[in-house]
């Protein structure tokens, strides 16, 4: 993981996927393993008629997944926070019949320490959206605590654990997307 900032790793270890053998055994030959093969190992894009996976990932525009059409439902939300998208998660499981969820955190996430961007956020709403300052401040104050995360890796692990309790029969994997190399890494859980 050359070039990985130690701050990215924090308490959870990133596991590089450079071969099929690097994919943890419990995820091999599953839709999560296939996602890793498509993204990191250039697996040919198999035709898919039905979604096999739900991917929860950040709304960040720098991330792009190399997957076949129809392979996955994708929910994009700041920080890959699915708390406010649970009905959509439930729909993908109940109606779409997916049994695997990949949660993708990424480095340089704008939801980390969002409080430091308060003025930029408020001024952007005033200048670009035409909001009044008081309304923009209230908006930030109300919603920022719901979406701010401390660490990308810590958050994706905690979100995976939370969803495993909610959906105990669904396999959920915390992954990490490095913007610099467009690769996915497993986040080792302590």
Q: CA-to-CA distance for 29 and 31, rounded, in angstroms? A: 7
CA–CA distance, 55 with 94 (Å, rounded to integer): 15
What's the confidence (pLDDT) of residue 12? 57
Listed by start position, the domains of the chain span: 6-111+152-187, 113-148
pLDDT over 60 (residue 8): no
Per CATH, domain 6-111+152-187 is 3.30.70.270? no
pLDDT in tens, 50-95: 999 999 998 888 888 999 999 999 999 988 889 989 999 999 999 9
Residue 4 has pLDDT above 80, yes or no: no
Predicted pLDDT at 62: 84
pLDDT of the residue at 58: 86
Q: Is residue 11 predicted with pLDDT exceeding 50?
A: no
Distance CA 34, CA 23 (A): 10
Sheet holding 100-106, edge to edge: 14-16, 183-187, 171-178, 100-106, 53-57, 72-76
* CA–CA gap between residue 75 and residue 67 (Å, rounded): 15
Q: Say whether pLDDT at 142 is over 50.
A: yes
How many of the other CB atoms lie within 10 Å of CB of 95? 8
């Amino acid at each position: 993981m050359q070039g990985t900032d130690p701050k990215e790793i924090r308490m959870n270890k990133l596991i590089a996927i450079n071969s099929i053998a690097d994919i943890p055994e419990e995820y091999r030959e599953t839709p999560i393993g296939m996602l890793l093969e498509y993204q990191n190992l250039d697996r040919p894009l198999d035709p898919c008629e039905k979604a096999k996976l739900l991917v929860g990932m950040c709304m960040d525009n720098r991330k792009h997944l190399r997957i076949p059409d129809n392979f996955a439902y994708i929910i994009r939300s700041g920080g890959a926070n699915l708390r406010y998208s649970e009905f959509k998660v439930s729909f993908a499981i109940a109606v779409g019949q997916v049994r695997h969820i990949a949660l993708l955190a990424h480095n340089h996430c704008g939801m980390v320490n969002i409080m430091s961007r308060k003025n930029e956020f408020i001024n952007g709403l005033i200048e670009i959206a035409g909001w009044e300052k008081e309304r923009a401040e209230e908006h930030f104050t109300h919603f920022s605590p719901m979406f701010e995360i401390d660490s990308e890796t810590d958050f994706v692990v905690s979100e995976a654990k939370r969803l495993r309790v909610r959906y105990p029969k669904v396999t959920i994997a915390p992954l990490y997307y490095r913007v610099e190399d467009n690769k996915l890494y497993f986040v080792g859980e302590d």
